[in-house]
Structure 1
Amino acid sequence: MSVSVARVPTGSASRYLQQLAKHWSHKMAVSFTAEEGSIAFPNGSLLAMKADSDSLDLVLTVPEGEDEGRMREVVASHLDRFAFREAPLTFDWRAG
């Protein structure tokens, strides 16, 4: 397993967390509140999210054999789509 973490600066963290969770809830296991959420991908990856007033914290766990870079891009591109007014968001991905 590899773990990537990112802090995404935005004043709309809760809104983006909820939009992303709702967007993927029809095909993935999702749980969320206004402040926290998790998304389990079919490939075994797991995205945990936490929103506060000025940032969205992401923890992405990717199983061995899966493309970590691609999963980071999938998450970032979807969030950028929801944040079109302030996109592109800044994702400071690093090893967790």
Structure 2
Amino acid sequence: MSVCVARVPTASASRYLQQLAKHWSHKMEVSFSAEEARIAFPNGAVLDLRADSATLDVVLTVPDDGPDDGPDDGGVARMREVVASHLDRFAFREAPLTFDWRERA
């Protein structure tokens, strides 16, 4: 399992969190408030978001597909891109947002 975290600077974190959660609630299991969201993807990945006045904290947990999969496998990179591109769509006035992705140990 790979866990990636990013702190995204934006004064509109709550708005983007809610827009993303509502957007994906039609296809995935989603729970959210103005400050937090959890989105469960069909592939087993989970996205946790937390908004404050200056940042959107993103925690992406992606299950390994096989015994040789590591943190740099294509599934993790693809999921990072899916999350970033969707958030950028909602943040079109300030996009692209800055995602400082890091692996969490």
Using the size of structure 2 for normalisation, the TM-score is 0.90
Q: Could you tell me which runs of 5 or more consecutive residues in structure 1 were left unpaired when the two chains were aligned.
A: none
Given residue 26 of structure 2, which amino acid in structure 1 is its aligned partner?
A: H
Trace 1:1-96 onto structure 2 (pairs within 5 A): 1-65=1-65, 67-96=75-104
Count of aligned pairs:
96
Equivalent-residue separation in structure 1 for 2:54 and 2:15 (angstroms): 12
CA RMSD of aligned residues (A): 0.7
Equivalent-residue separation in structure 2 for 1:46 and 1:87 (angstroms): 23
Identity in percent: 77
Per-residue CA shift, 1:35-94, capped at 9, x if unaligned?
A: 000000000000000000000000000000170000000000000000000000000000
Q: After the TM superposition, list the runs of 4 or more consecutive aligned residues in structure 1 that deviate by more than 6 angstroms.
A: none
Q: Could you tell me which runs of 5 or more consecutive residues in structure 2 were left unpaired when the two chains were aligned.
A: 66-73
Equivalent-residue separation in structure 1 for 2:63 and 2:35 (angstroms): 26
Indicate the SS of the match to 1:92. Answer: coil
Shift of 1:23: 0.2
Equivalent-residue separation in structure 2 for 1:62 and 1:81 (angstroms): 22
Using the size of structure 1 for normalisation, the TM-score is 0.99
Equivalent-residue separation in structure 2 for 1:24 and 1:10 (angstroms): 21
Structure number with greater Rg is 2
